[in-house]
Amino acid sequence: MTRYSSERKDAALSKMLPPQSRTVSEVASEEDIPYNTLYIWLKTAQQHGVKMATSQTWTAESKLAVIIETGTLTGSEIASYCRGNGLYPEQKKPIKQNLCKAYNLIKSKINPVLKKLKRIKEKLNR
């Protein structure tokens, strides 16, 4: 098992935390530190009160804004946007998936109601 100095660990963590907010995979390949090790360090830092970039406390409006604002951006532009907003680029995917699920659920509930209203309108027009 490889042991890392506290200086190296701190340097790697600082790259993954705001304001840099670089992805774990970027830091793992750059620092030649296993992906899992970096995640353990992040989790430990979070347990010790270090503020992490997180989308879990964002409002629905903020999450929607992330998807809209990054919709046409390239990979490097998305990374830059995420760094500036305290978000990891890989956190964007579940936000989008959850918003799509919510949209589809609402659509599936509204479509039958709209069809019923259309039939009622047609009956009233006769």
Separation CA 89–CA 79 (nearest Å): 6
Contacts for 41 with CB less than 8 Å, ≥ 6 apart: 9, 12, 13
Helix (H) or strand (E) holding 120: helix 92-125
Residue 78 contacts residue 50 (beta carbons within 8 Å): no
pLDDT digits 0-9 by tens, 23-66:
888 889 999 999 899 989 888 887 887 665 555 556 788 888 88
pTM exceeding 0.75: no
Reduced to 3 states (helix: H, G, I; strand: E, B; else coil), residue 71 is coil
pLDDT digits 0-9 by tens, 60-107: 888 888 889 998 999 889 888 887 777 778 778 888 888 899 999 999
Q: What is the CATH number of domain 1-52?
A: 1.10.10
The domain segmentation of the chain, as residue ranges, is 1-52, 57-126
